[in-house]
């Protein structure tokens, strides 16, 4: 029998209390290039730009000099929300004459803004932190969000609101409401707030399908960059299925890369298609200077649609658990460092590192014996080489499902061990 001597330098916990993400900078690609989330500093309760929504514009279905206007069915119908401060409507003939001078692309831009800006909110945060002998310091920040439904639920990024003691939401017409945190999913950087606003004051965003996106498709980013509310920028889908580092050694997957300019304060704002439908939520940029460089990232609406209903209902995500507390990455797969006592993995017979206690005249000495631990190589036939591989394999299942874990044991034999998953009570913490 051969003896294995694995002494990994770093253990990777499968669950950890996430640190605050506001102001988060992570290295990406090259050292000078950083991945920056987009909260912005602000003065509490004050708008940087005021509120001046554009006048409602009617979209005629008529020929345009030099080209044919798109059919009306292809353009989103403008929506006038309750209480919006819109300028008096101009005569239709006059508006038609103005629109006749615009290109079809400009008409689509206008239509998307007219439809969607009513759903965009400005979020201000206030956090009080103790400075020891120097007392407490107040930190204020801001971000963006979308009205999710008529019950007052607001969609935004977790890093926008993480650690905030006070939340203030400003609607498109300037109405302000104190908000409470309903639930959050830090690994996917998603949070849901709620405000006590009358339904007639809310214009929920229309959901779209990020699964149907194509590279080159036009997209529209709305939000409050640098505190400038009701701002829209236009770009295209630059790439699909990107990954971004998240909390707890996680990766956010299926991320949309865009070239629409994003700046601090855009975080949490909606990414829309040419029909004004929500296809993503703006979350980060890759930049050497911390401002827009034409490389932005958005969480896809497919992820949002899966996460938000659970946050509204439970306040957290009900993720399944395999009952493994920590692993170490080794050449062959993942070495099990620690299992949850009486958890699914331990009950199924998976073995972690053995802790050996030795008494001396100087006290007890603890030593970890890595040679006894199982090494996981596959889950349901899929290789697992990183923490994210294991979490992705487990979280694609439901609590109560059985997964088959392939392990290499200390005696150099392999085994396939069925493990029944349970609910992870710490989800969303």
Within 8 A by CB and 6+ apart from 386, the residues are: 329, 334
- pLDDT class for 427, splitting at 50, 70, 90? low
- Of 159, 238, 273, 410, catalytic: 159
Domain(s) labelled CATH 2.30.42.10 in the chain stretch across 319-423
pLDDT digits (tens, 9 = 90+) for 359-412: 777 777 777 788 889 999 999 999 999 887 898 889 888 889 999 999 999 888
pLDDT over 50 at 83, yes or no: no
- Of 144, 172, 185, 189, catalytic: 189
pLDDT over 80 at 330, yes or no: yes
pLDDT digits (tens, 9 = 90+) for 170-184: 999 999 999 999 999
pLDDT of residue 139: 85
Higher pLDDT, 121 or 91: 121
Euclidean distance between CA atoms 95 and 111, whole angstroms:
14
CATH domain 25-37+204-314 topology: Thrombin, subunit H (2.40.10)
Angle 420-421-427 (CA atoms, 0-180°, nearest 5)? Answer: 170
- Of 119, 144, 203, 267, catalytic: 267
Identify the weakest region by mean pLDDT among 93-102, 104-113, 414-423.
93-102
Domain(s) labelled CATH 2.40.10.10 in the chain stretch across 25-37+204-314
pLDDT over 60 at 51, yes or no: no
pTM exceeds cut of 0.75: no
Active site residue 84: no
Active site residue 427: no
Burial of 79: CB neighbours in 10 Å, binned 0-12, 13-18, 19+? middle
pLDDT over 70 at 94, yes or no: no
pLDDT digits (tens, 9 = 90+) for 242-271: 988 887 667 888 899 999 999 888 999 999
State the average pLDDT over residues 262-283: 94
Active site residue 146: no
In angstroms, the first-to-last Cα distance of the chain is: 44
* DSSP helix/strand/coil, 102: coil
Kindly report the CATH class assigned to 319-423.
Answer: mainly beta
Euclidean distance between CA atoms 266 and 246, whole angstroms:
18
């Amino acid at each position: 029998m051969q003896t294995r001597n694995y002494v990994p330098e770093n253990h990777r916990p499968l669950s950890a209390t996430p640190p605050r993400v506001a102001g988060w900078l992570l290295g990406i690609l090259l050292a000078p290039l950083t991945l920056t989330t987009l909260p912005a500093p602000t003065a509490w309760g004050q708008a940087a730009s005021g509120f001046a929504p554009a006048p409602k514009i009617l979209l005629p279905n008529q020929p345009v000099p030099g080209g044919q206007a798109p059919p009306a069915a292809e353009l989103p119908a403008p929506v006038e929300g309750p209480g919006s401060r819109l300028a008096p409507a101009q005569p239709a003939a006059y508006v038609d004459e103005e629109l006749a001078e615009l290109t079809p692309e400009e008409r689509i831009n206008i239509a998307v803004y007219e439809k969607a800006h009513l759903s965009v909110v400005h979020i201000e945060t206030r956090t009080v932190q103790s400075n020891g002998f120097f007392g407490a310091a107040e930190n204020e920040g801001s971000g963006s969000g979308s009205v999710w439904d008529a019950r007052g639920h607001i969609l935004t990024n977790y890093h926008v609101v993480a650690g905030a003691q006070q939340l203030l939401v400003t609607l498109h017409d300037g109405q302000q409401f104190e908000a409470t945190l309903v639930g959050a999913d830090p690994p996917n950087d998603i949070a849901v707030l709620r405000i006590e606003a009358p339904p007639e004051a809310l214009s929920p965003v229309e959901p779209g399908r990020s699964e149907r996106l194509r590279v080159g498709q036009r997209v529209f980013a709305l939000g409050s960059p640098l505190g400038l509310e009701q701002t829209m920028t236009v770009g295209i889908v630059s790439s699909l299925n990107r990954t971004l580092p998240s909390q707890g050694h996680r990766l956010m997957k299926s991320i949309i890369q865009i070239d629409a300019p994003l700046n601090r304060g855009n975080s949490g704002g909606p990414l829309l298609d040419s029909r004004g439908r929500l296809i993503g939520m703006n979350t980060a940029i890759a930049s050497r200077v911390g401002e827009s460089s034409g490389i932005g990232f958005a969480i896809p609406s497919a992820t949002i649609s899966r996460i938000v209903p659970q946050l509204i209902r439970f306040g957290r995500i009900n993720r399944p658990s395999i009952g493994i507390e920590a692993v170490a990455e080794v050449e062959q797969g993942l070495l099990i460092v620690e299992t949850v006592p009486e958890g699914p993995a331990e009950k199924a017979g998976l073995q972690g590192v053995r802790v050996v206690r030795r008494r001396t005249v100087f006290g007890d000495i603890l030593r970890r014996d890595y040679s006894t631990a199982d090494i996981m190589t596959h889950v349901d036939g899929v290789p697992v080489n990183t923490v994210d591989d294991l979490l992705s394999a487990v979280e694609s299942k439901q609590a109560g499902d059985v997964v088959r874990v392939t392990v290499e044991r200390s005696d150099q034999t392999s085994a396939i061990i069925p493990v029944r998953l349970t609910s992870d009570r710490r989800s969303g913490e």
